[in-house]
């Protein structure tokens, strides 16, 4: 087992993701790139307008014969000072063969970032877990990107525990605050 990347571990600790989201940092940095060429850089600030579409490319050091789970979650809902909906999960894909996210089973469709106006920066955390085998979760079901139902008050750590996923093998995150795309996203979600 490889040791955790000092860069990843330090960034996850400095931004409070260790304890707020997961107990231990991922081993490696997850590479996430959007259509506009923007990448996650362990806490860089991006706007909701820049990340409204699902990332174009997600890569990690994967075993091509293994299955993986990918999560995007916001521990700062509705704000970092008052995280009463921690976590609001934005994306959940399981049974990903190797790094072929498109071939995985989507349990929660991708939702862009929508921090409420005046709530400051939110952390948006991407995590990848190596699965011990094929995963099934009828209790979770399939969530569309046209509703906010069943997304708040979720916990990636509890999901990982429930499915024996262990510590994430890769992770990354960015920060974002309200911009003029957010009202469009709220309409999409039925707010």
Instruction: Quick: pLDDT tens for 138-191.
Output: 889 899 999 999 999 999 999 999 999 999 999 999 999 999 999 999 999 988
Residues 6+ apart with CB under 8 A from 174: 40, 41, 43, 44, 45, 46, 51, 123, 124
How high does pLDDT run on average in the chain?
Answer: 95
* 1 located within any domain: no
Domain count along the chain: 1
Find the CATH number of the domain harbouring 87. 3.90.280.10
Query: What residues make up the domain containing 119?
Result: 6-188
- Taking 90 as the threshold, does the pLDDT of residue 3 lie above it? no
Using one digit for the tens of pLDDT, what is the confidence trace for 44-73? Answer: 999 999 999 999 999 999 999 999 999 999
pTM score, two decimals? 0.96
């Amino acid at each position: 087992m490889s040791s955790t990347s000092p860069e990843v571990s330090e960034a996850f600790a400095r931004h409070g993701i260790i304890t707020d989201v997961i107990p231990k940092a991922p081993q490696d940095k997850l590479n996430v790139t959007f259509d506009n060429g923007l990448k996650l850089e362990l806490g860089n600030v991006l706007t909701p307008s820049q990340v409204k579409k699902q990332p174009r490319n997600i890569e990690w050091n994967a075993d091509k014969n293994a299955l993986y789970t990918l999560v995007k979650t916001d521990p700062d809902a509705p704000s970092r000072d008052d995280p009463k909906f921690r976590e609001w999960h934005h994306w959940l894909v399981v049974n990903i063969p190797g790094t072929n996210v498109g071939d995985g089973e989507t349990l929660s469709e991708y939702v862009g970032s929508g921090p409420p106006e005046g709530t400051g920066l939110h952390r948006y955390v991407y995590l990848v877990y190596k699965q011990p085998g094929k995963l099934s979760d009828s209790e979770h079901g399939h969530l569309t990107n046209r509703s906010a139902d069943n997304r708040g008050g979720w916990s990636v750590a509890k999901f990982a525990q429930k499915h024996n996923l262990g510590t994430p093998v890769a992770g990354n995150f960015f920060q974002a605050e309200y911009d003029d795309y957010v009202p469009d996203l709220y309409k999409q979600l039925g707010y």
